[in-house]
Amino acid sequence: MVVAVPRLLGLRASALRHHRCIVRRVPPLCAKAMSPGMLGAPGGRTSFAGSSAQELAAWLSSGGIALDAYGKGPAKSLEQLWAEVEEGETQLFLQGGRPLREVSVLTVILQNSKGQTLYEAEQVLPNGSRRTRGLPLSEKLLPGERWQDAAVRGVVEELGPVLPEQPVVEVDEQSMIETVESKESQSYPGLLSKYVCKRVNARIPSGLPETDFCTHEERSDGRLQHCWVWR
């Protein structure tokens, strides 16, 4: 299947130029009381429905989350969490009296001609702090987004600066598996996070560097550097 999508050159909000990206896919074989800022949700929990970062801060604090570490060192800021909520990448719930962050994440396993897998070793934040990653390429799914489309979007967003003008992305749909895990978020201290994780194999037959490399992402607070290694 061949589709045309924008190449985002590492930026989250807009595409500076448009290119064709050829996608080759391998077909598969086969009501409770609520307080302000809350909406009912399935499973006996209430969802956060605030309209500002200030309301989010108050909601987290009322659930016992200390915010003093947010935006310091490798931790992300409250504003970044609010941006995730606004963009639909993150859903927040109050479950058992404790705030819960729910994220759907797609991991794309990219391999080179030597059979090595691409990992993001670390990120260098605009303030100079380093955040250890040690993970393959990952992307949060947007509301209503098919995971197949998220795989392509993740590749062009994260690796766009080093890809050719017309990158070919081969997505093996048969390889997709899904798992669910809950753990405290490394990015948002104290916030329990539930990750609905999909994992799929993909290839970029040509144009992707076969040695370690870095990409950069311009953010409102400065430049974020992604360090990629093959293992």
pLDDT by residue (tens digit) across 146-179? 999 999 999 999 999 999 888 899 999 999 999 9
The pLDDT, as a whole number, for residue 30 is 34
**How far is Cα 71 from Cα 81, in angstroms, rounded to an integer?**
10
Q: Taking the domains of the chain in order of start, what are their residue ranges?
A: 22-28+37-107+139-209
> Does 223 have pLDDT greater than 80?
yes
Note the pLDDT tens digit of each residue in 125-147: 998 989 999 999 999 999 899 99
Check residue 43 and give its pLDDT. 57
**Is the pLDDT confidence value at 48 over 90?**
yes
pLDDT of residue 166: 84
Contact partners, residue 91, CB within 8 Å, separation at least 6 = 47, 85, 101, 102, 103
Residue 56 has pLDDT above 60, yes or no: yes
Supply the pLDDT for residue 220: 80
Query: DSSP characters for 66-129?
Result: --TTTTSTTSPPHHHHHHHHHHTSEEEEEETTEEEEEEEEEEEEEB-TTSPBEEEEEEE-TTS-
- Report the C-alpha gap between 4 and 187 in whole angstroms: 33
The CA–CA distances, whole Å, from 58 to 26, 33, 46, 54, 80 equal 47, 19, 16, 6, 16
Q: The pTM is what?
A: 0.72
